[in-house]
A and B are shown apart, each in its own frame.
Chain A
Amino acid sequence: MKRLLSFRCWFALAAGLIVLTGCNRGEKSGQAPGASATGRKPTVALVVKTLNNPFFIEMQRGAADEAAKLGLELIVQAADREVDVERQMQIIENLIERKVSVLCITPSGSREIVPVIVKANKAGIPVLIIDTRADEKALADAGGKIATFIGSDNYDGGKLAGAFLAEKLGGKGNVVVLEGIPGHETGDARLQGFKESISAFPGIRIVASQPANWERDQGFNVFQNILQAHPEVNALFACSDLMALGAAEAIAAAGKTGKIMVVGFDAQPEARQAIAKGTMVATVAQFPAKMGSIAIENAHRVLAGNSIPAFTPVPIELIK
């Protein structure tokens, strides 16, 4: 009885699926890749890292506005957590199955994104990469292709922040750096740019450089710990505003607001307010909404069969 039932259970599952797939199989064959299924407006998919970060919400807004203007259908999807590369891969695979016309992606992992870019290539769906680069070597090794990269030069952004801090410090002082998740191309580039600028000033020492994984609460905790070890700190560069804002709270808790200069990255609205209040001194502005709209504009041109540049830089600016 027991075994019979369990076999039946399996059988029903298998039979049900086979019958149903069989039914649908015929309809689907012979459809051109990239064409929308029912001849409605072409669908553009934007897959960001996460939708609980203001940066990507801005990007989504810019993309949505542009898509409405150009008459494109836009789907925006993201994993729950910024670090979940596998979930991002699943989402993109599902969108490939949905036969979207163009994929716009901000990779959660520069190398981890490569296998799914190759899958999109095989399905004939153009891929536009935004904000965070796909690893060029890994992409070439896997034989993958992207239509374009749209983003700010994070290295230049880091340099800008470094030059500003060096000037503010008058060429000498003790600096702390809060890094993003190690191995993330965006954070690494910002860090390198920053160090490059600072290295021109022998009087400035980086006393600690620790990852706080892009998170606000970690920015708080990590900086609080660093303060214990290095009370002599004069300035902080955080590779994102969220971490900078967290650290600014830690500085306030230690009663050192105004004594330690905080420079962030991203120019989120809250960081701009913090600069106005004096808890931060500067942030590097990127323009995520602009990235989103440029991406959609480029997607539109790809759909029309026009060529697009391999790299579209989005400007950066220091807000102080």
Chain B
Amino acid sequence: MKTRTLFAHYGRQFGTLAGLLGLCLVLWILTPHFLTVSNLLNVAQQTSINAIIAVGLTFVIISGGIDLSVGSLVAFSGVVLASLLQRGLPFPIALAGSLGVGLLAGLVNGLLITLGRLPPFIATLGMMSVARGGALLFTDGRPISGFSDSFRWLATGEIFFVPIPVVLMLLVYALAHFVLRRTKFGRYAFAIGGNEEAALLSGVRVRLYKTLVYGTGGLLSALAAAVLTARLNSAQPIAGINYELDAIAATVIGGTSLMGGQGSVVGTLIGALIMGVLRNGLNLLGVSSFIQQVVIGAVIILAVLMDTAFKRQKK
């Protein structure tokens, strides 16, 4: 039984990976501009923001929840970061401040869900609006822009030709993979998502770990916000609209089950890359933006359809 589910799980990941490589192959044949070093780095960089947010969502979804507030938290922690920077605080302190704000908002989500017993959908839907409104109030609706080069290094810098956002993304994924697979926190997230009752009865402090899961979501949104702000050299209170949906899509394409208890960040990374490559490729081919939306939607449906078909077969 156990090996069978394992196979089902990793079989799925190979499927996603094959999908990504197949997509790359098709684009390589169709356009000479796709498979170049600079374009692949370009795709990786464009994917990094969604990919970082999606890690948080993967944790949340594995634990059996959902987080709709991440897009608004990107905006909120982004404008907090920008205003701290504009007040002349050094970049590491401003960054720590905004990461703290993101974490705090995420923890509030968690507390509403655990102590307040709100369904995650409702709690984070509320936070989505509160954080968006907060960002707009905080800035009077206007973007805050113009930062020092030392801060913008977060988006423009490179380590051995690899852009910093990509380095950050890989670090986050390596760490998240380790946390999910090797630490108590990660294993408990799976346990809670698999069967909350059983986890509780086996002595897992469900409330604590659930709250921490949402805190992680908020923290990673704030990190993504820092990259976004550096990239645009501007923090907008209307930034990040619909980012929660992109992150959910990457997670689901990557094979994480919306029912909880099952999933991996490696899958999510591949899922995020599929979305990034698809958008990049369709731009390179000059495909109409309307068709792009149809294609992306179709890919999401196809991925999950294959998923359920696969599972049915296994049973």
Contacts and interface: CB of A to CB of B under 8 A. Distances in A.
Contacts of B142: 182-183
A24 B283 contact: no
A211 B264 CA distance: 43
The contact size tier of chain A is 35 or more
Contacts of B233: 111-112, 114-115, 138, 142
A85 B17 contact: no
A9 B289 contact: no
A5 to B, nearest CB: 5
A167 interface: no
Contacts of B10: 2, 5-6, 9
Nearest to A76: B288
Interface stretch (A10-18, A220-228, A248-256): A10-18
Interface in A74-111: 75-81, 83-86, 89-91, 93-95, 97-99, 109, 111
B236 A112 contact: yes
Contacts of B270: 13
A211 B139 CA distance: 14
Nearest to A181: B238
B183 interface: no
Interface stretch (B39-47, B84-92, B113-121, B202-210): B39-47
A36 B141 CA distance: 42
Contact of B266 (A10, A80, A85, A138): A10
B138 interface: no
Nearest to B3: A1
Contact of B290 (A12, A23, A51, A182): A51
A85 B236 CA distance: 9
The listed residue with most A CB atoms (<10 A of its CB), out of B42, B156, B264, is B42
Interface in B1-46: 3, 6, 10, 13-14, 17, 20-21, 24, 28, 31-33, 35-40, 42, 46
5 contacts: A20-B28, A79-B289, A81-B241, A85-B232, A115-B156
List the 6 closest pairs (A to B, CB-CB), nearest first.
A94-B283, A182-B141, A75-B286, A183-B142, A97-B39, A112-B232
Interface of B: 3, 6, 10, 13-14, 17, 20-21, 24, 28, 31-33, 35-40, 42, 46, 49, 140-143, 145-146, 155-156, 228, 231-234, 236, 238-239, 241-242, 264, 266, 270, 279-280, 283-284, 286, 288-290, 293
